[in-house]
Amino acid sequence: MHLTTRDVKKVASLAKLAFSESELAHLTQQLGDIVHFVEQLAEVDTDGILEMTHPLDIHSALRADQVNACLPRKDALANSPNSDGEFFLVPPVLGK
């Protein structure tokens, strides 16, 4: 497919990233090259082949439902850009 600046803007909004207009032009070209490159895969006949999401046969790992020690709140909050010692603080979800 041919990737346009509009496509890239839409993907950026899904990815929660913002780009300037000049970044956007450069990125559209680079992502276009990469998409063109990976589109080689279309040549491969994969009819009847199952997707391989993981190299191993994954089994659900279960453990006894016991309460274990977890990270103390003080440690969990220690790296936060902003907290009140009890909660992570962020700007309001809803604006004006």
* Cross-strand bridge partners of residue 88: 83
When the beta carbons of 25 and 82 are compared against other proteins, the nearer one is 82
- The letter for the amino acid at 28 is T
3-class secondary-structure state, position 38: helix
Q: Minimum distance from CB of 67 to other proteins (Å)?
A: 15
Q: Minimum distance from CB of 11 to other proteins (Å)?
A: 5
Residues near other proteins (CB under 8 A): 7-8, 11-12, 14-19, 27, 30-31, 33-35, 37-44, 46, 49-56, 58, 60-61, 63, 71, 75-76, 78-82, 88, 90-96
Q: Minimum distance from CB of 87 to other proteins (Å)?
A: 11
3-class secondary-structure state, position 31: helix
Say if residues 28 and 4 touch (Cβ distance below 8 Å).
Answer: yes
* Cross-strand bridge partners of residue 28: none
